[in-house]
Structure 1
Amino acid sequence: MAQNPLRRILISGATGKQGGALIAALTSHPTPTIHIYALTRNPKSRSAQALASNPNITVITGDFSNPPAIFAQIPKPWGFFSVTNPMNAAREEAQGKAMTAAAVAAGVRHIVFTATDRGANSDSSATVVPHFASKFAVEQDIISKSKESGGSYTFLRPVAFYENLSDDFLGKGFVSMWRLNGSSSRIKFVSTKDIGKVAAEAFLNADAEQYKNKAIALAGDDISLAEFETAFREKTGKQLPETFGVVGRGLRWALHEQLGIMFDWFKSDGFGVEVREVKGAYPFLKDFREWLRTESAWRKA
């Protein structure tokens, strides 16, 4: 009986939240037909060393400034998990496209790209949010290059991350920026660990109709700020971490391209995915209370 060929998968952001979640999902049920190549800029970091201790993982060094050099380290790569840095939209688009070009040139057959939900018309709308538009442009480029190469892709389109809630300046700032939209304003959220689980499914079932050349929106909860506060207080016994309103206003002004436009869009448009519908396909997607209980920094409380 012929054995299935080995599928080598490059995972960018391997020591980050999404890449790390994908690696955790793939290694929780290891298969001999998949070998992971974990991309990092610092192979001596504690997280990179932990990955390197797994025989099913090869840690490689590189960055998006030289994509061909990254893929040159992988013999016959089959898959590529692409996650981009949203802090500069123009750079994100350029680097995302360069990585796709290098992947296709190296012979990659399936790309899983983490983009974002862009409302009711995610397939055709770039939106006014710069780092949403850059991801849309990368998606379109992957579609074009996949048609040329005969490869395939899966787009994951998550909403806001629960992990934006953290007991530090950025986490408190997120809540303060949200409050400027009003306590009744709603945002949809998802756990990055759940994104990793779906990404793993997309690689393991790349030829299935559910994943081949498909886009999948992901959300675990649709919640107002008032409901968010209540849930946090009931589950942790504490007040929601938050800073002064003037700080939130300042962040939305100082980081207008990255945050200000996005929070305005949350209020005027918002994510389009229907939570109940997507949970029908992926029932493990956590709501906010479950995330607080199982994954958050306050889970012991």
Structure 2
Amino acid sequence: MKLLIVLAGLLGIAMAMPTEQSQEGNLIPVEMVKRQDSTPCGNPVGKNEESQGKALIDVFLKHSISHFVYTSVDRGTNSDTDATNIPHFITEYDIEQHLFFCVAEKSNMAYTVLRPVGFYDNVTADFFCKVFTTSWAVKLPEDKKLQLIATSDNGEFAGQAFLKDQGDVYRNKSMSLAAAALSLEEFQGIFEKKTGEKLPMTYGFVAKMVMGLNKDIGIMYDWFREVGFGASVEECEAIHGGMKGFEEWIETESAWKNARY
């Protein structure tokens, strides 16, 4: 069972299954878990995500799992108490609250809640990346920085949570994760310097149309502008000093990793 959550962290996703019945059984071989999702964003779970997340916690409690590591999302400086107005952030908050309540009332199961910020891995060689970058340009002021991290570093924190589960750094803790804070100009400059290409973008009206059709995305970018992520890069570096900057991520993990720098 631990294997499932480690892999979820490595992929930067929260693994969830539809029913309690489907959550029981053999989670090996590893390839079975990996096949659930191989993209940094995953497939949208939608309205069922909250019930699935809570059901997963209930099954873990039922089977006396010793340590549950959950990848959620940072919600600013008051992540413990502020659900925000972003629908999928609210879902993560509600799942967290279910975990905290169940552990306090019913179980000695240890937990670690990881709250990453935006992912470098949103920079992909496809249309999604263009919407990501153009929405950033449309919604945020030029000097507004966006906090970011690699999904692989999110996975590193998840792995360390298990390896050091008896210490006071990870056990029964919630932590926001960020490796960098960049303005779009800084982000664009690094990308173009490392790849020799223009940062993938589209027309502003296209990004606005996408945000209009998907209100969740539009609300999220408004929140980026008005509130923003609240992780401490310095505190994260003190725990895991090997976090990747955007330059290193481009060189080692991006779709452009084999380009000439």
Q: TM-score, normalised by structure 1?
A: 0.75
Q: 86, 90, 102: which one pairs with 1:133?
A: 90
Q: Which residue of 2 aligns with 1:187?
A: 146
- The answer to whether the Cα contact below 8 Å between 2:5 and 2:70 also exists between their aligned partners in 1 is no
Tell which deviates more after alignment, 176-185 or 154-163. 176-185
Determine whether 1:101 maps to 2:58.
yes
Q: 101, 115, 118: which one pairs with 2:75?
A: 118
* Higher helix residue share: 2
- The answer to whether the Cα contact below 8 Å between 1:87 and 1:131 also exists between their aligned partners in 2 is no
Measure, in 1, the Cα distance between the counterparts of 2:184 and 2:53: 33
- SS of the equivalent of 1:121 reads coil
Q: Which residue of 2 aligns with 1:156?
A: 114
Cα shift at 1:21: 7.1
What residue ranges of structure 1 are gaps of 5+ in the alignment? 1-7, 23-38, 40-62, 76-82
- The answer to whether the Cα contact below 8 Å between 1:68 and 1:102 also exists between their aligned partners in 2 is no
Measure, in 1, the Cα distance between the counterparts of 2:185 and 2:78: 28
- SS of the equivalent of 1:64 reads coil
Aligned ranges 1:165-180 → 2 under 5 Å? 165-180=123-138
Cα shift at 1:298: 1.1
Q: Which residue of 1 aligns with 2:193?
A: 234
Aligned ranges 1:150-299 → 2 under 5 Å? 150-180=108-138, 181-257=140-216, 259-299=217-257
1:46-67 deviation per Cα after TM superposition (whole angstroms, max 9, x unaligned)? xxxxxxxxxxxxxxxxx71222
Measure, in 2, the Cα distance between the counterparts of 1:187 and 1:21: 18
- SS of the equivalent of 2:156 reads helix
Q: Which residue of 2 aligns with 1:5?
A: none
- SS of the equivalent of 2:2 reads strand
1:132-159 deviation per Cα after TM superposition (whole angstroms, max 9, x unaligned)? 1111111111111122111110000100
Cα shift at 1:114: 0.3
Q: Which amino acid aligns with 2:26?
A: Q
1:29-79 deviation per Cα after TM superposition (whole angstroms, max 9, x unaligned)? xxxxxxxxxx8xxxxxxxxxxxxxxxxxxxxxxx7122234223369xxxx
Measure, in 2, the Cα distance between the counterparts of 1:204 and 1:13: 11
**Alignment root-mean-square deviation, CA:** 2.4
The number of residue pairs the alignment matches comes to 245
1:119-138 deviation per Cα after TM superposition (whole angstroms, max 9, x unaligned)? 01011111111111111111
Q: Which amino acid aligns with 1:260?
A: G
Measure, in 2, the Cα distance between the counterparts of 1:86 and 1:96: 15
- The answer to whether the Cα contact below 8 Å between 1:86 and 1:92 also exists between their aligned partners in 2 is no
Which structure has the higher relative contact order (CA within 8 Å, separation 6+)?
2
Aligned ranges 1:40-59 → 2 under 5 Å? none
Q: Which residue of 1 aligns with 2:49?
A: 92
Q: Which has the larger radius of gyration?
A: 1
Cα shift at 1:85: 6.6
Change (3 A) 1:290 1:222: same
Aligned ranges 1:13-52 → 2 under 5 Å? 14=7, 18-20=9-11
Cα shift at 1:102: 1.1
Q: TM-score, normalised by structure 2?
A: 0.86
Q: Which amino acid aligns with 1:229?
A: Q
* Higher strand residue share: 1
Measure, in 1, the Cα distance between the counterparts of 2:156 and 2:178: 13
Cα shift at 1:95: 0.8
Dislocated runs of 4+, deviation >6 Å: 83-86
Q: Which amino acid aligns with 1:223?
A: L
Measure, in 1, the Cα distance between the counterparts of 2:95 and 2:113: 10
